[in-house]
Chain A
């Protein structure tokens, strides 16, 4: 079908005065729809849904590299749940996620708010400096040197300030803390917050100024509420991403010392290297379930839309006291 006839069709559908499309024409249009959708659907099926479904099936078998595959029910799940290393890995992942969100999540938000206060020109320069797309792997490798206990930058600072020599990544108590710290200099999400802030009408701030609001009140009553949906979305991504953390511990500590930084995904990777496919997929599915649970709770507990009318309590719904 040429563009011209497509346009003609569209106008015909709009003014409604034309006779309705014949069945053959609507079938043709549906076929057209599928042709356009096919590449995306196909890619998703092959690389997304098929592996997911396969893993799910595999997790209920005794699949190995070779040999027959037999259905074993929840055997691998049982094995995984009873594996003390799994419990440790999940704990590491959860602590890593909590630490990383507590210590680093707010930073890009502050950076964005700070940048908005700067003159336009300065802001452009600062954006260039701060939102440079840093390689996550490169950052990890760099920080491995910073943390080096013999010649690392941090060690010389610590001893220079008169502290004892610090173990950093070699301490099983401290390792997760130090692993999270490099996240402080990744301001990438700040760009998203900045874009959000720039879309807030300036008249809101002007009205607030005239109404007597100072700097902090403007941030608290305008900037943050306007950013809320984006902050919550980013928080969701941060939770999902951090629970699946792999590369930083892998690159900086390889899970050490003694598994103190071995995350859930790293353990999946270890098991896969032992060619225990069923166990690895079972563990992945467990992690997947945990993440889904957390996300579901977050979605339920936190209201994203700041402009929506307040939720009515059950009692109000029953007694119809709300003014709607």
Chain B
């Protein structure tokens, strides 16, 4: 099955919560809707589920328009943020609920429920009531209920947000395992970009009711179309600087109070119309290196200097929080180093080598990417 949304719109009063959203979820694709709270991602999911009416646009499942189809006739399974398992029913009856609604023979139910429960390691809890379960176990009941029915599509509404970090990791694997097994189109809503990045086949970043960008996690990370997407994706967040573009002979220089960087020809070409004007430059923390460890030639043209404020150890190396002078006060810069930076550097000026091939450039006014738009054109 495929799910296709075209110009999907939902209004609450005169405010559009979802404002003409387009996307397609392919056969067996894990599609993630991500964005800050209030961006319309959950409303979009609820429209797919049929829990929210569609004010405008079209929702198709397998090219059949389902705008008016009742939730139960859409043959979907959904996992809710609060799990929505029924506290007065045993685990067994919770999992069997959809099968009983569809009047399956009890011999089938007796066989399928323990199977689904076993997939999520809750087969020993079938007779318990939800009150006797931990948060993680409750969620696995919700997953088993979604799995047991062999639905045509799976929907998840922030299913991990009520779990602690450890359980969240486990649940993430459970959900992906379920997806691997069913290979059905899945729409997964989250506000956590790292969750989205690690789970999605493709993802859509939403902002105030619209989709800002759709693509694979890698595409969104490497070629964000706007400062919003660039900033939303990646931890720590991308460093954004206000700068001007200066042409010098054949080269284009990115000029900021604290640094000048010579852009490589690949980037410079796309900038024709912007030279001489303001621009927003984005540099991911991962693209700032200690000069000696940089995987490229380091020189005057690709180095900036910043004063280290704080060194935070990470599993791989360290995240360095530093400041450099800006047009109005100091600018914060974050850099992710592959190696440990000794603490004695705190308070010192250190050079940072910039991977110029990976500098992102955005129009200072529209905040749209200068590079990606040019490429699309």
Chain A: minimal CB distance from B74 (Å):
8
- Interface assignment of A113: CB less than 8 Å from any CB of chain B: no
What A residues does B87 contact at CB under 8 A? 306-307
What B residues does A306 contact at CB under 8 A? 87-88
For A205, give the chain B residue with the smallest CB separation. Answer: B84
What B residues does A209 contact at CB under 8 A? 50-51, 70-72
Please, what's the 1-or-0 string for A189-225, where 1 marks a CB less than 8 Å from any CB in chain B?
A: 0000000000001011011111111100100011001
Choose one: B76, B88, B101; the contact of A307 (CB below 8 Å). Answer: B88
- Interface assignment of A310: CB less than 8 Å from any CB of chain B: yes
Choose one: A210, A213, A214, A226; the contact of B76 (CB below 8 Å). Answer: A210
Q: Are B71 and A210 in contact (CB under 8 A)?
A: yes
- Interface assignment of A67: CB less than 8 Å from any CB of chain B: no
- Interface assignment of A4: CB less than 8 Å from any CB of chain B: no
Inter-chain CA distance A2–B259, complex, in Å, is: 64
- Interface assignment of A309: CB less than 8 Å from any CB of chain B: yes
Number of interface residues of B (CB under 8 A): 33
What A residues does B85 contact at CB under 8 A? 207
What B residues does A310 contact at CB under 8 A? 90, 127, 129
Chain A: minimal CB distance from B184 (Å):
15
Q: Are B72 and A203 in contact (CB under 8 A)?
A: no
- Interface assignment of B149: CB less than 8 Å from any CB of chain A: yes
Using A225-B88, A226-B88 as known contacts, say yes or no to A210 and B77 having CB atoms under 8 A apart: yes
Q: Are A323 and B88 in contact (CB under 8 A)?
A: no
For A204, give the chain B residue with the smallest CB separation. Answer: B84
Chain A: minimal CB distance from B96 (Å):
10
Task: Please provide the chain B residues from 96 to 131 with a CB less than 8 Å away from any CB of chain A in the complex.
Answer: 97-98, 101-102, 124-125, 127-131
What A residues does B70 contact at CB under 8 A? 209
Inter-chain CA distance A33–B129, complex, in Å, is: 40
Q: Are A307 and B129 in contact (CB under 8 A)?
A: yes
What A residues does B132 contact at CB under 8 A? 309
Task: Please provide the chain A residues from 234 to 286 with a CB less than 8 Å away from any CB of chain B in the complex.
Answer: none
Q: Are B72 and A214 in contact (CB under 8 A)?
A: yes
Inter-chain CA distance A225–B71, complex, in Å, is: 23
- Interface assignment of B176: CB less than 8 Å from any CB of chain A: no
What A residues does B332 contact at CB under 8 A? none
Binding site for A on B (CB under 8 A): 49-51, 70-72, 76-78, 80-82, 84-90, 97-98, 101-102, 124-125, 127-132, 145, 149
Name 15 extra pairs, CB < 8 A, besides A213-B72, A323-B125: A201-B84, A206-B51, A206-B80, A207-B85, A210-B76, A210-B78, A211-B98, A211-B145, A214-B72, A221-B89, A307-B129, A309-B129, A309-B131, A309-B132, A323-B128
Question: Could you write out 29 A-B pairs with CB less than 8 Å apart?
Answer: A201-B82, A201-B84, A203-B81, A204-B86, A206-B51, A206-B71, A206-B84, A207-B84, A207-B86, A208-B97, A209-B70, A209-B71, A209-B72, A210-B51, A210-B71, A210-B72, A210-B78, A211-B72, A212-B72, A213-B72, A213-B101, A221-B86, A221-B97, A228-B88, A307-B88, A307-B131, A308-B131, A309-B132, A323-B124
Binding site for B on A (CB under 8 A): 201, 203-204, 206-214, 217, 221-222, 225-226, 228, 306-310, 322-323
